[in-house]
Structures are given as structure tokens and as C-alpha cells.
Amino acid sequence: MLQAFMCRNPWHESNCRGDGRYRVIGKYIIDNLLARGFHVRALTRTARAHVNDNLIWVRGSLEDTHSLSELVAGASAVVHCAGQVRGHKEEIFTRCNVDGSLRLMQAAKESGFCQRFLFISSLAARHPELSWYANSKHVAEQRLTAMADEITLGVFRPTAVYGPGDKELKPLFDWMLRGLLPRLGAPDTQLSFLHVTDFAQAVGQWLNAETVQTQTYELCDGVAGGYDWQRVRQLAAEARCGSVRMVGIPLPLLTCLADISTALSRLAGKEPMLTRSKIRELTHADWSANNNRISEDINWFPGISLEHALRNGLF
């Protein structure tokens, strides 16, 4: 039996929180696994009706070791797709992305059944010095690797994932198709993207592969050379059959917006997405990626390019 783990609802401030990006990705992963005939258990904060005989919701949290034990009981594989992407200090990211991940791995080890553990990390983990989020994912990768023992640990580092239901990149794409492209960082920044259905397919293929090894994989849409801002502008112009104006956002303005976002979020009792820490990640010069290793190991090849997605509204 495969147990797929994700967070579907916001957690209280004192707990870890399953953010929107991970909830969307988790939904697509579960749908893909169910279509493959897997039996899936998924973690949820609130009660949910069982609408599929092969999908069981387990109430609990990353801080509740009892619910984690129930989640992984009898599972031959565990998919860890949950994470904190908002926060005003490093401790918040560490508590969820590191400590929560280790609790789940410990539960998987104690179950005595788990053979494969797939950790959904981020391409940001390649540069832990950039942000609290990037560092928390990097540390989690290192500590899970040290802890895995006989369990085969797969680490997926997807680039910017987008698709229906995503609220992070959709506003950018909407603005692009209206004729305006806000640019973060230098014009020659190397970018990469990945459609959520391709990502879910990769998860399913890794779990279905006859043999896998402990390995870290980058994932992107596979377009040769990736993208820079000028190429993104060109694709948007072709998709809307009209011009697109690209406007660079100055770093001082971004910093000011981050400070405002942090202050307003505190007043609202929420964690901010845009912080000074996050700006370093968003404006980094090289977010290129390649699929060579994962394509060789599990024969996964993405099918949706950014050009195709923009032309067909697949976001």
C-alpha cells in the first residue's frame, strides 16, 4: 500500500502549515496515484469524507506523532509533499520543513514496512544561502539522507511549479497575457518552469519504477536552454498575439514591498510570503535546471512546455 502524505488545510500558527502551493501539488499527486491503482492515505487537519475507496484521510499534523504512525502504517512507500513557504523568521521554516520531515521519516522507519520515501524539496535547496526557505529544505534533505538507513530516499527538486489551482504564478501569467510582464532580477536571469501534471507524473513513475536508488533529482519542463525574461516575454506576446511590455522591479522597491508585506501580515496575524529573505531567492541569477538524471533513471519526460501552457491556458 502507498501512503501519500500532504497537508490540505492551514495549520495553527504554533504548528506547521501546509501552504497553498503544496496543497495544489498534493492534489495532483493523489489523483495521479489513484489513477495508477494505488491505495493512498493522506494527512489532513480537518475531517474529510471518504469519497474514494482507495483514498483514506487521516486527521493529524506533522507535530502529532500518533497521527503520523497511523498515516504510514503498512505503507511500502511514503510521499512527503508538505511545506512552509511563508514566514517572518527562520524558526518557522525549520519547525515545519526540517523537524516535521524528520518526524515523518521516523514514523516510516518505525512502521517496519516503508521501502521508499520520496521527499518533495525545491530547486531552492541548491542555494541554501539565499533564503530561510531554501536553507530549511537543504537541511531537511541532508538530515533525511543521514536518517534513512535501509529506506531508499528520493529527493525531488522541482523548479517553479504551476498549473490549474496554483495561486503563486497565475497572477504573473495573467498579467503577461494582458500585456505587462513584471521582471524580478536581471534581464538575463536563467529561469525554468514545470507544469503540475508533469510533476505528478514524475512522482507516480518514481514509485512505479522497478528499481530506484537514493538520489536527488532536478525537475523542469525540459525545454533546451530554459528561459530568460526576454524569452518569457516573447512567448507571452505570441500567446496573446500582441506586444508585451517588460518592466523591471528595482531592488529598493522590492525591499520596501517586503517590509510592508511583513508588517501587514503581522497585523493580520498571518505569515508573510514576501520578505527580505525571500527577495534574495526571487532575484537569484540562475534557476536553470535539467532532467537528465531523472529521465535516465525512471524514463520520465515532461510533456507540457511553458509555450504550450500559455497558448492553451493550462494554468
The grid cell for 283 is: 532575484
- Count CA atoms within 13 Å of residue 310 on its CB side: 25
SS3 content of the chain, % helix, strand, coil (to 5): 45, 20, 40
Say what the pLDDT of residue 21 is: 67
Burial class (CB in 10 A: 0-12, 13-18, 19+), 69: middle
Reported in sequence order, the residue ranges of the chain that DSSP labels E, i.e. its strands, are 2-6, 40-44, 55-59, 77-81, 116-120, 152-158, 160-162, 180-183, 193-195, 215-219, 245-248
Rounded Cα distance between 306 and 228, Å, is 12
Say what the pLDDT of residue 7 is: 35
Q: How far from the centroid of its chain's Cα atoms is residue 85's Cα? A: 9
The pLDDT tens digits for 44-67 are: 988 887 778 899 999 999 999 999
Burial class (CB in 10 A: 0-12, 13-18, 19+), 181: buried
- 196 pLDDT more than 80: yes
Rounded Cα distance between 187 and 308, Å, is 23
Give the helix ranges, DSSP H, for 179-275: 196-208, 229-240, 251-268
Residue 310 three-state SS: helix
- Please report which confidence band the pLDDT of residue 288 belongs to, taking 50, 70 and 90 as the band edges: very high
- 290 pLDDT more than 70: yes
Rounded Cα distance between 126 and 119, Å, is 15
Contacts of residue 55, Cβ cutoff 8 Å, sequence gap at least 6: 30, 34, 40, 41, 42
Q: What is the mean pLDDT of the chain?
A: 93
- DSSP code, position 99: I
Q: How far from the centroid of its chain's Cα atoms is residue 222's Cα? A: 17
Q: How far from the centroid of its chain's Cα atoms is residue 97's Cα? A: 12
The pLDDT tens digits for 249-286 are: 999 999 999 999 999 999 999 999 999 999 999 999 99
Looking at beta carbons, which pairs linking 278-282 to residues 24 or more positions away fall under 8 Å?
278/131, 278/133, 279/251, 279/254, 279/255, 280/130, 280/131, 281/124, 281/127, 281/130, 281/131, 281/133, 281/134, 282/184, 282/185, 282/254
Do residues 244 and 231 make contact, with C-beta atoms less than 8 angstroms apart?
Answer: no
Ranking 6-15, 117-126, 143-152, 192-201 by mean pLDDT, the lowest is 6-15
Q: Mean per-residue pLDDT for 84-101?
A: 96
Contacts of residue 138, Cβ cutoff 8 Å, sequence gap at least 6: 125, 126, 128
The percentage of residues in the chain with a pLDDT greater than 90, rounded to a whole number, is 88
Residue with the three cell numbers 498579467: 175
- Please report which confidence band the pLDDT of residue 239 belongs to, taking 50, 70 and 90 as the band edges: very high
Measured CA to CA in angstroms, residue 123 lies from 48, 88, 104, 273 at distances of 32, 21, 21, 17
The pLDDT tens digits for 78-90 are: 999 989 999 999 9
Domains of the chain with bracketed CATH: 2-161+194-224+288-303 (3.40.50.720)
